[in-house]
Structure 1
Amino acid sequence: MKNIKYTTTIILAGLFTITGSGCKKFIELSPVDNRVSENFYKTEKDANEALNSVYDALQWHTNAGGGGFSPDPMMADIASDDSYAGGASRSDSPDMIQIDQQKIAPTNSLTRVYWGNHYTGIYRANLLLQKLPDINMPAAAKAKIAAECKFLRAFFYFDLAKWFGNIPLITAPQSPGEYCVVNASPAQTFNQIAQDLVEAMPVLDKSDLRTSKAHATRWSAIGLLGRVYLFYKGVYKAELQADGTAVNGPYVLTQLQDLITNSGHDLLGAYADNFTKANEFSKESVWEISYSNDNPWFDWNYIQGGEGNMQPLMQAPRIEGDPLYSTGWSFAPVTQELYNSYEANDPRRTATIINMETDLKGKVSVGYQHTGFFSKKYTTTAEYRPTTGQYELNWGNNYRSIRFSDVLLMAAELDFTNGGSQAQNYLNRVRNRVSLGSKTVTLAAIYQERRAELALEGIRYWDLLRQGLPAAAQAITISGKKGPGYTGDQVDYNVTFNQATRGLFPIPQSELDQCSSVLKPNF
């Protein structure tokens, strides 16, 4: 079920990002047709097409500057203790291995792609917000588009702030000579994120994602606010301010309880159903990023022009002759530590992890850092196999960015830490769905439940960081340990978490070189 077509013909200069050396060459490009920014932003149709271009940037795992593929959930899993880098061999993606080994260079191509893609989305949102007041359209429709732009800007900035820390904070389109911007403090950036979400929440539709046709809803904004607050509070030990609104634990808990009680969202009956094609935009999905093969794509030189998701292909096993799975690239092989972390009778393990010995029927080619385990949630299942277009570029698996179970566990954490009485109930709802008995609610129990419930969805790394750098180091640092299915030298599986980097990506060297007068390294 794909509802947003991420296609547009607006002038490239009006849509690409504006910070760093990777931006100027885009700004100098000629228009792709005669609708330049000066004559485009006139009608409601124009505004909606421009909004689609903001959503478009959510899909990107590469960009026109090249440099590899950087799906956010997969990179976060590789940085955590749930996955290794993997791939065909040690030379397949050295930049992904840097993320796995916590030794990321400022010249890493994946972080540069990630930075550029997110600032592209921010620029598109800023540009539309600037143009909206002068567009001829009903006030209510205009307000809703503005709210969606703020939600999307918050989403992009949250990703950047998690990975890079001190980043440029840009809330309006820039002109030549303004491209270089000083690093903002985390407090400035996170307060802006909170403000965008608080302003968007009352305007966005109170609907599910099927009704909204995959557009962000009030409930999407509340779910994201919960995630933003818990990360900021855990990592920076401070509260947030959204203009005149104090965004603290009680405030965020109240919003999450509104979502739980009034949104109509709920848990699906079977845990594994969350990741099937039939359950895209299901009642459990609070925020979801849409992908498809509805627009068959062939162009390896402009991959982001299509609508495919690279992550399923990247982390699927290199397999031939299996009736359920098509061959992939074997990145992000799953660790023995994650496999062992589940309770013995927890069905989420088999719904989350492909065990090569029991789940695969075809012939598997062993790749780098092979463990015998692969992600089952986002992979090359038969129902998603592209029927047209380039095989590698058209996987349509949607990414369930915020699920209702995550909302319940966020609420349990905030309720527990703020002296409420519902934390046990929220925790039990998640466990009851998979027929596990009640467990006494503690912070440790909530974190363990989050690992089991949300594994291989790009959440674990951030949960470790917000528990503190020593906790992250204890979990991620591995030396002298190999699982029984591992293939390769022990050194390939040793990881040391570097607390000096605070778990951050370095700001790309190309950005620092371009803006050396104002932009500084983040560690």
Structure 2
Amino acid sequence: MKKWFLYIFLGTAATCTVSSCGEDFLEQDPLVQQTASNFFETEEQAIEATNAVYFMLRDWSVHVFSYIGLTDIHSDDAVKGSTPNDAAFLRELDDYTYDQFNIAFGGVWSGYYRGIRRANEVIDKVPRANINDDLGQRLVGEAKFLRAYFYFFLVRGFGGVPLLTGPTISAEGITRATEAQVLDQIEQDLIDAAAVLPEKSEYPSTELGRATRGAALGFLAKVYLWRDNYDDALTTAEQVINSGEYSLAPDFAMIFRVAGEHGSGSIFEVSATSSQVGHGQGGGGSQFNQVQGVRGNPNLGWGFNWPSPELEASFDPQDPRRDATILYVGEELPDGSAVIVDNPNLEGERYNQKAWVSEQINQGAAEGNIRLLRLADILLVAAEAANELNQTGKAQMYLNMVRQRARGGDMDILPDVTTSDQAQLRTAIWNERRWELAMEQQRWFDLKSQGRLEEAMRAVGKTNFDPTRHIYWPIPQQEVDLTGGDLSQNDGWN
């Protein structure tokens, strides 16, 4: 069965709100008895269908195991972690010995295209439903934003991918669009979304986590920077910066605690709650934190995705962000609920402090939102674009705003960057991205955008990296086979 094309986009997950499931969840009629053709008849159904797209953001195949493997572990910022023989497919990503059959590629392909399929149904059906025009436009805007988000991940990793913008039920005739065509569609979706979505402050607190105008513009700025369109990247980033909707939270470490969720610097994050019902089962939880949580003592997670020694060494020793990013043996969990005791089965044990599990909650589907876009990221997008446009003063200003927050009022550390040399300033901005966004699944894409993947992998001893094969991920072989070869494979993987 061509499962990612035939996937029934509405399931029990569609009854969930963006943040969690309501108490009436078990009283709902089973949605599997309904079809896309007869579902979009009321405002409630249109909202539920849109919520089903958001639900994919907590799904195992979108933002959990394969996701951290293809981002952090695949880069120089992290190593696989856990015990040596656990999750061999992640070890292959870590040391670049994988092939087109590695389950990580098939996992994210399936998950992200399920999200796209759900978004396409909303975009197609909601305008024809009998609902309030303003609400309908907003829901379509949310779906376009989410479709753009899913495609932006896919195109940066795989290059050109099938560009599906309407309901699709068959793999027949599916081929790859060019990378430029996919990016063009992403841009248009984000432009459309920004035109109709509310600002963050215009949503009630119960709706935090929905797509906003700022989120659409923020990702649009990142797309422009990815395409070396520095003028539009700077202009769009500054729309977010100057909107009055966001500010840098004064305490960097607090951003990654429960109290920091949807904080002043948060532009887009995935809401998750502690729940006995985990990924793919209709619950509000996510296993994103669980797979990275402390393994063994206390037993709060699976212990994958360790910050690398090279990442640790790259920080200024006085930079508070280092200790707010790396959780060491002997250290308390950020909420003080437990102290990490050395696990004798693990060598080089350390953890991602931006994704942790408290001893006080159920770890099966742990709370802890997934931060996808922060103001600091957009400030550094603006700094990079401004530097490439020879607007040195503006580049310095945005870069130093991030450094000023990082130093936390201690004027003896992290001095402002004052160089006016474009190459030196570019390096300073790239370094700042690494330190500010470490372990937030940004590094591999940043290195690729900067043209430094081979250099970085060689520097950390990943000698299997081959620039003729590893700049793009292989298309999952099972997807090539499903189309009878119509879906072409990336170079070096046939």
1:183 to 163, 176, 180: 176
Change (3 A) 1:303 1:150: closer
Structure 2 counterpart of 1:450: 433
Q: Secondary structure at the match of 2:200?
A: coil
Q: Secondary structure at the match of 1:452?
A: helix
CA contact (8 A) 1:126 1:171 kept: yes
CA deviation map 1:342-365 (0-9, x unaligned): 112100001000122555734332
1:319 partner amino acid: G
Percent of paired sites with the same residue: 32
Tell me how far 1:180 sits from its aligned partner: 4.2
2:208 partner amino acid: K
Tell me how far 1:117 sits from its aligned partner: 0.6
In terms of mean alpha carbon deviation, does 23-32 or 419-428 score higher?
Answer: 23-32
Q: Secondary structure at the match of 1:401?
A: strand
CA contact (8 A) 1:60 1:304 kept: no
Tell me whether 1:166 sits opposite 2:160 in the alignment: yes
Change (3 A) 1:513 1:444: same
CA contact (8 A) 1:286 1:403 kept: yes
2:348 partner amino acid: T
Paired with 1:206 and 1:303, the residues of 2 have a C-alpha distance of 29
**Count of paired positions:** 454
Structure 1 counterpart of 2:342: 364
Q: Secondary structure at the match of 2:276?
A: coil
RMSD between aligned residues: 2.5
Paired with 2:490 and 2:122, the residues of 1 have a C-alpha distance of 30
CA deviation map 1:273-319 (0-9, x unaligned): 100101111111011111112x5316xxx745333222222122323
User: 1:111-130 to 2 correspondence within 5 Å?
Assistant: 111-130=105-124
Structure 1 counterpart of 2:486: 518
Please, which runs of 5 or more residues in structure 1 have no aligned partner? 1-19, 234-247, 481-493
Structure 1 counterpart of 2:147: 153
Q: Secondary structure at the match of 1:202?
A: helix
CA deviation map 1:236-263 (0-9, x unaligned): xxxxxxxxxxxx3222311211211123
Structure 1 counterpart of 2:328: 355
Paired with 1:410 and 1:210, the residues of 2 have a C-alpha distance of 29
Q: Secondary structure at the match of 1:364?
A: coil
TM-score, normalized by length of structure 2? Answer: 0.86
Paired with 2:448 and 2:138, the residues of 1 have a C-alpha distance of 34
User: 1:61-210 to 2 correspondence within 5 Å?
Assistant: 61-62=60-61, 70-73=65-68, 75-90=70-85, 92-176=86-170, 179-208=172-201
Paired with 1:54 and 1:478, the residues of 2 have a C-alpha distance of 40
Structure 1 counterpart of 2:16: none
Paired with 2:84 and 2:136, the residues of 1 have a C-alpha distance of 51
CA contact (8 A) 2:10 2:49 kept: no
CA deviation map 1:221-248 (0-9, x unaligned): 1111122222233xxxxxxxxxxxxxx3
CA deviation map 1:413-466 (0-9, x unaligned): 111111323111111111111222111350000000111111000111111111
Paired with 1:258 and 1:153, the residues of 2 have a C-alpha distance of 22
Tell me whether 1:401 sits opposite 2:384 in the alignment: no
Tell me how far 1:472 sits from its aligned partner: 1.4
Tell me whether 1:427 sits opposite 2:399 in the alignment: yes
Change (3 A) 1:281 1:509: same
Structure 2 counterpart of 1:266: 247
Paired with 1:431 and 1:26, the residues of 2 have a C-alpha distance of 46
CA contact (8 A) 2:190 2:217 kept: yes
Tell me whether 1:438 sits opposite 2:416 in the alignment: yes
TM-score, normalized by length of structure 1? Answer: 0.81
Tell me whether 1:508 sits opposite 2:476 in the alignment: yes
Change (3 A) 1:25 1:127: closer
Tell me how far 1:142 sits from its aligned partner: 1.1
2:296 to 319, 330, 334: 319
User: 1:188-267 to 2 correspondence within 5 Å?
Assistant: 188-208=181-201, 211=205, 212-233=207-228, 248-267=229-248
Change (3 A) 1:374 1:34: closer
Tell me how far 1:169 sits from its aligned partner: 0.5
Change (3 A) 1:424 1:106: same
Tell me whether 1:459 sits opposite 2:442 in the alignment: yes
Paired with 2:238 and 2:6, the residues of 1 have a C-alpha distance of 47
CA contact (8 A) 1:111 1:508 kept: yes
Q: Secondary structure at the match of 1:105?
A: coil
Tell me whether 1:410 sits opposite 2:381 in the alignment: yes
CA contact (8 A) 2:66 2:105 kept: no
Change (3 A) 1:108 1:272: same
CA deviation map 1:457-488 (0-9, x unaligned): 011111111111xx2112122567xxxxxxxx
CA contact (8 A) 2:300 2:358 kept: no
CA deviation map 1:318-358 (0-9, x unaligned): 2325xxxx532121122110000011210000100012255
